[in-house]
Amino acid sequence: MTSSVNQNHYDIVLPDPILRTEFCGMDFASPISLLSGCVGFGEEYTRIAGFSNRQVGSICLKGTTGSPRLGNAPHRIYETPMGMLNAIGLQNPGVDKVVQDYLPNLDFTETRFIANVCGSTLEEYMDVVRKFDDSPIDAMELNISCPNVKEGGVAFGNDPDMSFRVVEACRKLTKKPLITKLSPNQTDIQESARRCIEAGTDGLAVINTMMGMAIDIHKREPILGNVQGGLSGPAIKPIALLKVWQVYQVARDHNIPIIGQGGIATVEDAIEFLIAGASSIGIGTGLFYQPLMCSTINAGIADYLRKHEMNSLHDLIGSLEVDTNREIKCG
């Protein structure tokens, strides 16, 4: 059952009330979160006729650094079979402009807005968190996949100790919810999740993009100006689903919710991630070719809950049945 309001001369269908949930203390109208880098700073997506932010629980803004960045040289986007490579390079106007010019234009009554915090040093992360803390932003997502320039370029998120230090330092600077975005490009994502939880994260986003590349066979050159880029889209869904389930084994004992993301494009995809342990489902690349998928996914999840006589999302989250006596082997 849905309801609607009239706004800007077209009907906006609101999510079914059964989809309302809480994430890190924030009220979400639905479990859908729009992912960082796919909807700019929140205002681009709302230009689509028939769309309302009320369709989603949260919108994660584009990655933001301390100072403005121009990003990588082109090409920066390349379509692959069942996915997309991107190497934008964190192009953004810097935290000061985002806080002063972008946030005042957002309607915080429609959805929750989450800032995506990036940095090349621990000090930069801390500076960005301080400035977002003194703003109306609802929460912050720590993008620890950024390269640490002081450690030779290794990503913060690929080292559990460095991940711990970033979360610990940022935790001391804000009481707003902190959600740490975990990279799949590491040896043990469960250990990384444990360390982030110990450091004080309120939630986890699982996963970031997989690293990949594409080659122009005629020029025998990399297609991306940065040589490598992050792979997203349906191609990475099975990997993301496994990582969500693995992290859930750690997070559930601490009541740490997960935004599950990576290749979600259908109602069935979304339900799988919820069953695996995600409390929210992140949609990103799919919006590029199906920008109005949110209402379809909301309706499908609500129908599934009622068909299976579930009273809320919480009855579905983490409901995967696995034989605990079964030995799970690699390969």
Residue 118 annotated as catalytic? no
Distances (CA, A) of 278 to 268, 296, 299, 325: 14, 19, 18, 23
Marked catalytic residue, from 60, 146, 170, 294: 146
Contact by Cβ (8 Å): 85, 45: no
Beta-carbon contacts of 19 under 8 Å, excluding residues fewer than 6 positions away, are 29, 30, 31, 298, 301, 302, 313
Helix (H) or strand (E) holding 306: helix 293-307
The size of the chain, in residues, is 331
Q: What is the dihedral of CA 116, 65, 87, 51, to 10 degrees?
A: 40
Angle formed by the axes of helices 267-276 and 293-307, nearest 10°: 60
**CA-wise closest residue to 214 among 191, 198, 230:** 230
Rounded distance, CA 140 to CA 312, Å? 26
For residues 280 and 28, the answer to whether their CB atoms sit within 8 Å is yes
Bridge partners of 117? Answer: 64, 142
Pair 176, 200: CB distance under 8 Å: no
| Spatial CA neighbour of 103 closest among 119, 92, 115, 111 | 115
Residues marked as catalytic: 146
